A and B are shown apart, each in its own frame.
Chain A
């Protein structure tokens, strides 16, 4: 017996918790919420066992599947795979989910729908676990959609807020654009793959050993469509717009979405189907360029935002760009490594932000300040997270970012510099965030106080992980990448990458300290000289407005036009047919005057005509 055989239980526990909690409903009370936490704890333990088993390296990869649907000669399967990659993801997802669960007991304590909240969280976790375990693209797609709907439910959890409603709607619809891409890619693969197979091992075989079975153009198309799906879920440009708005959900959910579940799905998908991308240079370049562009694009927006959660949201978009960049330059291991470390420090940052919001009841960093004095644990852990995100050694973010930049330098030197600039911007906005929130004097009214232990405990655990997680793969000890991808990574650490990345990060932090803590550089140094730039950044490059202008408005207009068409043309033709018959009847009715003499005259005329006709026939 191996633990891997029971991997299907991992998502099953949260599903069971969901079923129980949603059935109990609102009346169950706060204590019932522990069911969800318990389920995620069990899942975590099982995941750790599975991962331990994989780490020991003594068991083979495990796959089990059954026929979900059999139609004639075609069969659609469902099943699960246990590999190093999936076991890693299992641990990340269950761990973050468990910590978020714990934290939520404190954060959501006073919410009357707390059981519903935990039910949704459990379903969210289960969907993501299912996605991770899927052994074929169809199963993955099913869980992919479920992840989407769960994030929709949670973003819109406070349904009475109009902003939450709009954000939930936006999150669902924008990611659905990407889902369409994935769906079409799925259809393409089904019909082009030999034997209509959709499982990842067949895909792997077809695209590596039997290259040429699927034409190059189709391969590129499939890869790009899959990438479209990933762009939607992972918030890459131009479908990133939903992610910052998703901040309307409760903060623990933001942590869950940004660290382990929703957005990681896109990166995971590309990593899982990486062979398809490798078979097409065009697709690889697209992934790298979009990733790099998103990284720097989101980082610049992050500089100008004032909402603590939005800054973190844009930093997620930016970091996901990094991961895509890594995938685009061919380094799955670097991408997965960054996904792994990012999960911890981003969850840490969001939970820390939640702790702050919980204390000061505002999300605007201009109204905060000096929070660190009263919230020591939050401040310290948040600081560790910020340093990790900024890529300061020896924190986790440094090592993974370094791996990405190294890969970028070897394959796309231009993108290396994009990444380096992004690293600088990241350090700068994180410094701005940290110093404006925790340093200086309080600017708002609210009096901050430390959160309860149930909220700080997850922070401490995550802070520890944010420090140590990076050491699994250092330039001196690269077993992690090999373990995850099964291939020995090219060893080519260059001193230049380390120097550049450390230098830009330190420069960013220093500059941030100068501006926002020490005040030697004036804050409006940029906005006073180029006011337009700041305005553009604050409005996120007007992407939302652009969408409204080129998509939403025309769709509404088209709908209204078609409504008129439907009412007056399609229905009008029918109405006209009916009315013309009725009109004809009315016309005939007019002849029926009731005037006896008129009738007589008509009869006479008719008689004459008949007589003439009969007489006339003689002459023809």
Chain B
């Protein structure tokens, strides 16, 4: 049915079309904007679900791939005798595999839920929904792009709508938070750009023998880079004394620099200690639906980038840096958890718990084996769903009480049993209760890392205990205990609020009980990487 349609482009462009449509609609009709945004968020969801259902691990993402040259700029550098032309190509290359598909699905699910949760937005709907849809396009692009330049463009594209969504629709210190967000992520983008330039300049070219000489083309194509870096006979890996061109040699030192730059770039996004402070502000100041997207998807872009570019392109460096990564992961876990234990503001508890949970992802990546890597992706998806659910609850709660200070709340299980039940479930998922998705991700990450670094894992596991402390402290602080008089009459979640909550909870349970719906698919995505790592270990 959908075989002949460019599905990936449809996923990518549907929100963009939606954004334009929203801008064309008359300003007064708030509900039109809402419905349009919802419809154009649901389209990608349906398409990704179809992808998920029809994805064959044997063929991978090849049937869906879309690839053509978008822009080709000739370079007039002094051409040698045999060289007929020299080009810089910008490719439009979209593809999926077992790693990006789960994250794509996460993006579409969280986007739809956040779109529904945006009912609480009270001002300037038109701009809000336009930016919201633009943000969606950026996120899909990040997970779909297979060209470094294209990836960079989409990565940057997410910054702009986020900046305005935080700065205009946020809480009291929104402008500061938006500025901090932009400064940090701008720094990360700079590092990423530099790393990409290093990679493209050294390993990004292909030479094709034409009739009138060799055609040399530079491009940021992921596949080209992957082959060139992995192939020992590629130009980039040759000794400069043989080729006579030191500028085109990707030396070990350069690889190291590229890896560190990528680590910084994506580390800011993930965020890795000590780059996490911007995220706290976004968590507390941005409007809840935006935080759902931010915590649910944007942080995972860092994970995805780290795995896709740092790990796959530079596996040897990943191996050298794995201990450092694991140490950083353990620091993240414990630092975030301890701080989450003392916060008075529920949103800050959740923010620090995100820091802690992303540490587990780092552990999974650092483990360098399939169990850990799958755990990392699994944990990313699961944390995305859980934190989206938690911030959905926060939004609903704030709408009624006007506060998220734990001290001021209490006993809400009395007046809002449904919401409290969902909150408790989400909390349990967050602290890694078996049967819910959080457990699988945590368990696989720990299990993977334990194979290589036992002591670090044993320390990191302490985070699980601290998670119980901070989750129970905050969740029970809100739902249990005697209820203050002013909260006795507040109403439980409305239908429109309950639907996304139930949907997310159901997904969390599904992933917790049947993890194999995702792991089989991810397995195929990691095969290539593991072969490379094992080759290096063997040779």
Listed in ascending order, the chain A residues whose CB lies under 8 Å from chain B are 25-26, 67-72, 74, 141-143, 145-146, 149, 156, 159-160, 162, 164-165, 168-169, 172-173, 176-177, 180, 183-184, 187-188, 190-191, 555-556, 558-560, 562-563, 566, 570-571, 573-574, 578
The 9 tightest CB contacts between A and B, nearest first, are A559-B342, A142-B434, A165-B480, A159-B480, A187-B450, A571-B277, A72-B370, A176-B468, A570-B274
What chain B residues lie within 8 Å of A68 (beta carbons)?
515-516
Least distance between B288 CB and chain A CB atoms (Å): 23
Least distance between A1 CB and chain B CB atoms (Å): 28
A566 (CB) vs chain B CBs: closest residue: B339
Within 8 A of A (CB), among B97-145: none
Least distance between A24 CB and chain B CB atoms (Å): 13
Chain A interface mostly helix, strand, loop or mixed? helix
A153 (CB) vs chain B CBs: closest residue: B424
Q: Across the interface, do B277 and A562 meet the contact criterion of CB distance under 8 Å?
A: no
What chain A residues lie within 8 Å of B358 (beta carbons)?
none
What chain B residues lie within 8 Å of A180 (beta carbons)?
461-462, 464-465
Compute the total of residue contacts between A and B using a CB distance below 8 Å.
Answer: 122
Contact flag A156-B523 (CB < 8 Å), given A70-B516, A149-B433: no
Q: Across the interface, do A556 and B371 meet the contact criterion of CB distance under 8 Å?
A: no
Least distance between B449 CB and chain A CB atoms (Å): 9
In angstroms, Cα B446 to Cα A70, docked, is: 16
What mask results when residues 411 to 441 of chain B are scored 1 for a CB within 8 Å of chain A, else 0? 1011001000000000010000111000110
B221 interfacial contact with A, CB 8 Å? no
Contact flag A187-B434 (CB < 8 Å), given A159-B481, A165-B480: no
Question: Which of the candidate stretches B253-261, B313-321, B471-479 sits at the interface with the other chain?
Answer: B471-479
In angstroms, Cα B461 to Cα A562, docked, is: 20
What chain B residues lie within 8 Å of A143 (beta carbons)?
434
Q: Across the interface, do A184 and B480 meet the contact criterion of CB distance under 8 Å?
A: no
Q: Across the interface, do A566 and B472 meet the contact criterion of CB distance under 8 Å?
A: no
Contact flag A562-B411 (CB < 8 Å), given A156-B476, A172-B468, A180-B465: no
What mask results when residues 367 to 400 of chain B are scored 1 for a CB within 8 Å of chain A, else 0? 0001100100000000000000000000000000
Point out the residue from B411, B434, B447 that lies within 8 Å of A190, measured CB to CB. B447
What chain A residues lie within 8 Å of B168 (beta carbons)?
none
A159 (CB) vs chain B CBs: closest residue: B480
Least distance between B102 CB and chain A CB atoms (Å): 14
Q: Across the interface, do A142 and B481 meet the contact criterion of CB distance under 8 Å?
A: no
- Can you report 22 A-B residue pairs in the complex whose CB atoms are below 8 A from each other? A69-B515, A69-B519, A70-B519, A71-B519, A74-B370, A146-B433, A149-B428, A165-B480, A168-B480, A169-B476, A173-B472, A176-B464, A176-B468, A177-B465, A180-B461, A183-B446, A188-B450, A558-B338, A563-B342, A566-B339, A570-B277, A574-B184
Q: Across the interface, do B371 and A74 meet the contact criterion of CB distance under 8 Å?
A: yes
What mask results when residues 486 to 527 of chain B are scored 1 for a CB within 8 Å of chain A, else 0? 000000000000000000000000000001100110010000
Q: A159-B481, A183-B464 are in contact. List 16 more A-B contacts (CB 8 A).
A: A68-B515, A68-B516, A70-B520, A74-B371, A146-B433, A156-B476, A160-B480, A168-B476, A169-B476, A173-B472, A180-B461, A190-B450, A556-B341, A558-B338, A559-B342, A563-B342
Least distance between B535 CB and chain A CB atoms (Å): 16
What chain B residues lie within 8 Å of A563 (beta carbons)?
339, 342-343
In angstroms, Cα B458 to Cα A188, docked, is: 10
In angstroms, Cα B468 to Cα A533, docked, is: 36
Least distance between B501 CB and chain A CB atoms (Å): 15
What chain A residues lie within 8 Å of B435 (beta carbons)?
142, 146
What chain A residues lie within 8 Å of B370 (beta carbons)?
71-72, 74
What chain B residues lie within 8 Å of A71 (beta carbons)?
370-371, 374, 444, 519, 523
In angstroms, Cα B412 to Cα A165, docked, is: 13
What chain A residues lie within 8 Å of B341 (beta carbons)?
555-556, 559
Q: Across the interface, do A566 and B446 meet the contact criterion of CB distance under 8 Å?
A: no
A552 (CB) vs chain B CBs: closest residue: B469
What chain B residues lie within 8 Å of A188 (beta carbons)?
450
B340 (CB) vs chain A CBs: closest residue: A559
Q: Across the interface, do A159 and B413 meet the contact criterion of CB distance under 8 Å?
A: yes
Least distance between B473 CB and chain A CB atoms (Å): 7
Least distance between A70 CB and chain B CB atoms (Å): 7
Q: Across the interface, do B339 and A562 meet the contact criterion of CB distance under 8 Å?
A: yes
B431 (CB) vs chain A CBs: closest residue: A176
What chain B residues lie within 8 Å of A25 (beta carbons)?
417
What chain A residues lie within 8 Å of B228 (beta carbons)?
none
